[in-house]
Structure 1
């Protein structure tokens, strides 16, 4: 610990992960996302950051091949994380061990994801986690890298985007759902 960290949030659909499920098994693939954080060893951060940059560049560059190239870079990222999980016994590549606070924040994040459609509040979520609002707010930001409202809004936007892309619901209904 002690080093700097940067948050990078990537959302995958099960459809996107399907080829990996077929090759490695759904349980194995999903296990690499079971922790709220992934620790990238210092010795491999350049490689990881390079993959993120390549995927991002391809997403920005829209031509016939960009979607496929971006997908391949993201698959490589996932495979890299799977490898980290499989060789976690080496000292330099230990998986992220969630502290009690991390586990509580994961519980909070799941609560927010399950209740984002209702007017979920910071106070309500802090109470759900048996914490004071001030302490919860500081810990949530420290652990997730997001402020409470920022996290809640990102969940709502992600769900609204998903509904816009994958349903025929009217925009007004989607707005009310998220």
Structure 2
């Protein structure tokens, strides 16, 4: 069980929003695990395990995590209860319109190989000042709140942009040297490349010369995802892309992304996105048309 206190703010333009959440107890994320916007995650207090793309990172208070669009991710419990975090979501179109000459600079932290930025001690005061300003503005929500918050969240991006790679700023994956995690990274990378093929827990376990039980238990521990859940998410993510970007028939998309049962594909897609594949495609095209006007 966990109790939570939440404060949120959405910019009137719809281009960005902020969510500050303080949780008591233990918690692991269960919601959809990829989305079409950028996400900046800042951990105010506590400790979290954060799986991004193909490996997990142990995130501590003061760390920022940058999630690119359509990248699988998930936070989970490390065994340490209680945490507070801030999540800022940015729409790409808003960044391009609000900062037409600087958008490429501002999205750079989301494109790095390692998504976690951990600043050295001498740079933390600047970061904590901006975070404190964001929390205070969200709490008071006085006149001009959106303006102050907009400047603060862009300042966070600039802090990350200026963070140098090397000895600091780019933490290594959690337990990256352990044989178990090295093997699970290879399994994840294999699934990322072969998700459209028929895959079973037994077959993949044989591929890596381990038992099905060990793979199931260790995969969940290393990534936060159940084995079958992760494969389905990969398939559904690709199916969304094909629905947005191609004119392929929906039945062909289901087969191309690894679903051999069209009914199962439709049910899984609607459970994940809240829409049928057909409605998702129609909505995506309407949004694209609005952006061109």
Q: Indicate the TM-score class for this superposition, using the shorter chain for normalisation.
A: 0.5 to 0.7
How far apart, in 1, do the equivalents of 2:164 and 2:36 lie?
A: 21
Alignment root-mean-square deviation, CA = 4.1
1:95 corresponds to which of 172, 186, 193: 172
Q: Do residues 136 (structure 1) and 215 (structure 2) align?
A: yes
Change (3 A) 1:110 1:44: closer
- Which residue of 2 is the match for residue 75 of structure 1? 107
How far apart, in 2, do the equivalents of 1:86 and 1:39 lie?
A: 20
Change (3 A) 1:35 1:159: closer
* TM superposition score normalised by structure 1: 0.61
Cα drift, residue 103 of structure 1: 1.4
Cα drift, residue 95 of structure 1: 2.1
- Which residue of 2 is the match for residue 109 of structure 1? 188
- Any gaps of 5 or more consecutive residues in structure 2? 1-25, 39-51, 68-84, 119-162, 258-293
Greater strand share, structure number: 2
Change (3 A) 1:135 1:54: same
Alpha carbons 2:242, 2:248 under 8 Å: kept: yes
How far apart, in 1, do the equivalents of 2:242 and 2:220 lie?
A: 28
- Any gaps of 5 or more consecutive residues in structure 1? 17-32
Cα drift, residue 113 of structure 1: 2.1
Change (3 A) 1:38 1:109: same
Greater helix share, structure number: 1
* TM superposition score normalised by structure 2: 0.40
1:54 corresponds to which of 75, 83, 88: 88
Cα drift, residue 167 of structure 1: 1.2
Cα drift, residue 131 of structure 1: 0.8
Aligned length: 145
Change (3 A) 1:141 1:67: farther
How far apart, in 1, do the equivalents of 2:214 and 2:238 lie?
A: 28
How far apart, in 2, do the equivalents of 1:68 and 1:106 lie?
A: 38
Alpha carbons 2:54, 2:188 under 8 Å: kept: no
After superposition, what is the alpha-carbon deviation per residue over 1:144-165, rounded to whole angstroms, capped at 9, x for unaligned? 1111100010011011111111
- Which residue of 2 is the match for residue 43 of structure 1? 62
Within 5 Å, give how 1:16-27 maps onto structure 2: none
Alpha carbons 1:116, 1:152 under 8 Å: kept: yes
Structure having the higher Rg:
2
